[in-house]
A = this chain, B = another copy of it.
């Protein structure tokens, strides 16, 4: 057998293929998702592209409105490298902004609607926002933010007929603004596919948020990857349960348009709206954090629901507890588990189903499905390894390491934050900060965020593993486990649980007993606190607040 002899790297002598075969306008175009809308409008001009309440926009109208927006922004002096921020629910203007803003070389900054005025003001300043498009429902926060901010953006109000609160703050309404624009506006694709397309601030649990910059190439490739992995087509009807301000809606404003599917907008994630929308519009695909699944299952509506068609539901952000997967599938959803972060355009791995799992008992199946899985097609590489040396850990299902990712769907960096960018991309890999094991089958499974691991008596305890046991208790709706300082053990697990509505019979001892029946005793919570859990604006449980509370618990 020939050993060694690996391919030689740089310095290949030019060959016959290096002559007269150059790039040119015929055979090279910078990758950009903007063209997806032009193409969809060309192929499906009269097809319903967007549903919002009683409103319907065809693909022709969607494209016209995006071009009007681009034209109106351009007429106001906005262009290359300018930031356009938008504060809104999942309404049509946000979809339109995913095209209209980059059409003029500007950068779309979707704001997290749950942020307070101070955080918004910080972002407007940091992003040097030139235009702020804002839904009237957020006028209180935005008014304060604008007072605090040094940026003095042009303010445009989304005056959504489905909203009756708030006030109008800006120069004019969004509809008036785009009515001034040209629906035939001659936009240009980016000259360089590395050009920035969007800016997404992390919901950082401490310190100032960091501005994650996406480029056209990455947005195009992520959208193609999402379309392929989630299996969307022109027949797909996508319900907007994942916020578009979260990693640009996991790139689906682009991915679904690439295939010519139908977007169903939604002002809020409310089971009383979601179940009827699924039936009324024949929703085929939706996404959301596990908290959305939990909310759907425990809603009064769920008791009577049995969907008349299968709805593909991709979930990520944290692992869906087995009990949640089972309950959702019983109603008629099919769950795909994705994993990603803002820094990697949303999903980067998915838990690919294996034929061999067909024969497993249901419990074993849902346990497998809770793994973060394997890489997306547009991800170049993933490893689980030492946080400092990046040395890969063995794929033994036990050795915990940090998840590293590399490839074309990794951010270009953090805006105006070279130090953080260098730290995040050090050694040629993106450092996720998530701790995982790699199973012998290659699937990764997250054990914790690096800062969420509990070290008790020198042993690492995965807070997620304890939470998984808690979620299996029939009376527990939500659970989070954090470290509490412990004189003897250094740290010990402290559990925060929310009971299902109407149930309040469970005691601390019951909960601890349940854990002791189901896992190693050293991993069991020593303390249990009942009540609602604090969440970030994207629905993630805020463990840093719980850690503070644990100090006093």
Contact = CB atoms under 8 A, between A and B. Distances in A.
B375 A39 contact: yes
A186 B116 CA distance: 51
Interface in A179-216: 179-182, 185-188, 191, 194-196, 213, 215
17 contacts: A2-B181, A5-B75, A6-B185, A7-B70, A7-B105, A9-B188, A10-B191, A21-B412, A26-B406, A26-B410, A27-B218, A27-B408, A27-B413, A39-B377, A44-B354, A228-B228, A231-B231
A185 B5 contact: yes
Contacts of A8: 79-80
A352 B39 CA distance: 12
Given A5-B75, A412-B21, A36 B377 contact: yes
The 5 closest A-B pairs by CB, nearest first: A15-B81, A25-B428, A12-B80, A17-B196, A6-B186
A5 B42 contact: no
A73 to B, nearest CB: 10
Interface residues of A, number: 104
Q: What is the total number of copies of this protein in its complex?
A: 2
A428 B12 contact: no
Contact of A6 (B9, B188, B194): B188
Contact of A259 (B21, B187, B228): B228
Contacts of A23: 194, 412
Contacts of A231: 231, 233
Given A15-B80, A17-B213, A24-B425, A191 B103 contact: no
A237 interface: no
* Most chain B beta-carbon contacts within 10 A, residue among A16, A25, A29, A188: A16
Contact of A103 (B7, B221, B408, B412): B7
A402 interface: no
A28 B196 contact: no
A413 B28 CA distance: 12
Given A13-B81, A24-B428, A39-B377, 17 more contacts: A1-B181, A2-B75, A5-B75, A7-B70, A7-B79, A12-B105, A15-B82, A16-B83, A16-B415, A20-B417, A20-B421, A22-B413, A26-B406, A29-B380, A42-B375, A42-B442, A46-B356
A4 to B, nearest CB: 8
Contacts of A552: none
Contacts of A121: none
